[in-house]
């Protein structure tokens, strides 16, 4: 039987605290502003990808969650072309290397969370795909270099090449060779960062990020102010807040940036709405919580959809989860917090009567919660999703 070469990697989801919104080059996914994100733990949300190649494979194929998935999209093809050309360069220098760059690829991938549900599956998906192929090809490129390939798959995917706190530097060059992800701080610099995700029940968004940001770039005046004057300053301040582990500052900037991004969506013509009434209820709960605490202990942020991600520190877990468990405690996702529940509390100054008397209203609209935290970057793993006997995805 012809030899099958294979390698597997996992990669995380990242949720931006300073949003990427707008492209200056749609083909290369070059952004109009720099952005910052927190990488979330792969214990809770991760993609596992096995990349394989063989001279016996007749075409490039991708299986996602057990089903064949299109691989011939311009973005995926751009990623594969870059990786193959880096491998070809190695092969041209060393005759002994097998000519993997000429073989067709078979990629098998699984997300352990809902795909295309506004939970950044494309970011984890492209980061895992690039990491697994780079491992298969034994490429020497570092994470920043690989992030530039992931960026061509999906802009935000470039930040999933790192763990911890990550910046995507927008760069200036036309060929995108300076538009890459870099580490702001590793997980262990500020491991106390937690994230509560409220998955809001909704149909698939009707305006994709890609088309939404193009509409904003073309029509929003507010957006010009955002990229010229707001984000450049915020980028520096947010990096500093991470280095200083200044949660109040980090949280304020995160909240303001989510608001600014959604304002630009509303200012687009015709307007784009990603948040819904449930999202607004969650914003209200976070605001009331921070007011009751007398300082910012929780920061909400929303991507191009209604799901809320709430960042908070471990030291405020009982107060933050106490409130959200009160409202959404009936939902799936609290199993992880079982041992903490006895310590959950409602802050004395929190107007809980207001919420309790309207509980039906507040508790509706969320389908599940995910409790997670800051986590590490892509990992090389031995687990393979490929059945070497059949050359097909393993049956789970
Ligand atoms: N594991 C994966 N491997 C390769 N591609 C993937 C993988 N997971 C997701 N994708 C690609 O990303 C697409 C989903 O991206 P989409 O932007 O619609 O949703 P999302 O990333 O989950 O949500 P959002 O971008 O709003 O956070 C999938 O249809 C698929 O093409
Ligand atoms: C709101 C965002 O989540 C937008 C993400 O946009 P994508 O990275 O999904 O867009 P493409 O580059 O077109 O694939 C903000 C962010 O993650 O920074």
pLDDT for 202 equals 65
Helices (H), the chain: 74-93, 121-136, 143-153, 209-219, 221-225, 231-243, 247-266, 277-293, 317-328, 352-356, 359-363
How many CB atoms within 10 Å of residue 282? 26
The pLDDT tens digits for 57-92 are 999 999 999 999 999 999 999 999 999 999 999 999
241 Cα–ligand 1 center, Å: 30
From its phi and psi, is residue 54 left (phi > 0), alpha (psi between -120 and 50) or beta? beta
- pLDDT for 268 beyond 70: yes
The pLDDT tens digits for 100-129 are 999 999 999 999 988 877 888 999 999 999
Q: Which residue's CA lies nearest to atom 26 of ligand 1? A: 118
DSSP calls for 42-61: TTTSEEEEEEEEETT--S-E
202 Cα–ligand 2 center, Å: 19
Domains and CATH numbers, the chain: 5-186+381-393 (3.30.230.10), 193-373 (3.30.70.890)
The pLDDT tens digits for 289-329 are 999 999 999 999 999 999 999 999 999 999 999 999 999 99
- Mean pLDDT, the chain, as a whole number? 96
Confidence (pTM): 0.97
* Rounded distance between C-alpha atoms, residue 321 and residue 312, angstroms: 10
Pocket probe for ligand 2: among 78, 116, 149, 209, the residue whose CB has the most ligand atoms within 8 Å is: 209
ipTM above 0.95, yes or no: yes
355 Cα–ligand 2 center, Å: 34
CA angle 114, 300, 377 (to 5 degrees): 55
325 Cα–ligand 2 center, Å: 29
202 Cα–ligand 1 center, Å: 17
* Rounded distance between C-alpha atoms, residue 69 and residue 37, angstroms: 28
CB-defined site of ligand 2, < 6 Å? 16, 19-21, 29, 35, 122, 154-156, 209-210, 303-304
């Amino acid at each position: 039987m012809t030899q099958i070469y294979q390698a597997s990697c996992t990669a995380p989801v990242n949720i931006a605290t300073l949003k990427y919104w707008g492209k200056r080059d749609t083909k290369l996914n070059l952004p109009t502003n720099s952005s910052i994100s927190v990488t979330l733990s792969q214990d809770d949300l991760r993609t596992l990808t096995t990349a394989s190649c063989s001279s016996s494979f007749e075409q490039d194929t991708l299986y996602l969650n057990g089903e064949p998935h299109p691989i011939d999209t311009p973005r995926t093809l751009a990623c594969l072309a870059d990786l193959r050309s880096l491998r070809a360069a190695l092969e041209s220098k060393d005759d002994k290397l097998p000519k993997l760059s000429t073989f067709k690829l078979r990629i098998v991938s699984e997300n352990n969370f809902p795909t295309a549900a506004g939970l950044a599956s494309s970011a984890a998906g492209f980061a895992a795909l690039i990491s697994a192929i780079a491992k298969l090809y034994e490429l020497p490129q570092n994470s920043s270099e690989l992030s530039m390939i992931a960026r061509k798959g999906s802009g935000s995917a470039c930040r999933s090449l790192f763990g911890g706190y990550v910046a995507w530097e927008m760069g200036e060059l036309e060929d995108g060779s300076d538009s890459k992800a870099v580490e702001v701080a590793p997980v262990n610099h500020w491991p106390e960062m937690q994230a509560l995700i409220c998955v809001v029940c909704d149909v698939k968004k009707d305006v994709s990020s890609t088309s939404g940001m193009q509409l904003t770039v073309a029509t929003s005046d507010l957006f010009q102010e955002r990229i010229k004057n707001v984000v450049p300053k915020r980028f520096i301040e947010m990096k500093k807040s991470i280095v200083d582990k200044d949660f109040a500052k980090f949280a304020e900037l995160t909240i303001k940036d989510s608001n600014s991004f959604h304002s630009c969506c509303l200012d687009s013509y015709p307007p784009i709405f990603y948040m819904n009434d449930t999202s607004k209820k969650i914003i209200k709960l976070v605001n009331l919580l921070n007011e009751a605490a007398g300082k910012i202990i929780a920061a909400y942020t929303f991507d191009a959809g209604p799901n809320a991600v709430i960042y908070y520190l471990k030291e405020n877990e009982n107060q933050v989860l106490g409130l959200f468990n009160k409202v959404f405690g009936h939902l799936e996702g609290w199993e992880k917090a079982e041992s903490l529940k006895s310590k959950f509390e409602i802050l004395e100054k929190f107007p809980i009567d207001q919420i309790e008397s309207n509980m039906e209203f507040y508790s509706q609209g969320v389908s599940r919660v995910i409790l997670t935290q800051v986590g590490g970057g892509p990992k090389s793993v031995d687990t393979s999703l490929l059945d070497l006997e059949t050359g097909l995805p393993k049956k789970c």
